[in-house]
Amino acid sequence: MSSSHRLAVVALTTLLAACQREAAHRPPSPGPSAVTAPADGRVEVRVDDQGYHPATIRAAAGRSLTLVFRRADALNCGEKVKFPSMGNLERDLPVGQAVEVAVIVPASGELAFTCGMGMYRGSVVAQ
Which residue ranges make up the site for Cu ion (CB under 5 A)? Answer: 19, 77, 115, 117, 119
CB 50 within 8 A of CB 21: no
Least Å from the CB of residue 77 to Cu ion: 3
**Omega cis (within 30) before 38:** no
Least Å from the CB of residue 21 to Cu ion: 11
CB nearer Cu ion, residue 14 or residue 64? 14
Least Å from the CB of residue 116 to Cu ion: 6
Backbone angles phi, psi at 105, to 5 degrees: -65, 130
CB nearer Cu ion, residue 20 or residue 127? 20
Return the closest-CA partner of residue 77 out of 43, 3, 6, 26.
Answer: 26
CB nearer Cu ion, residue 58 or residue 91? 91
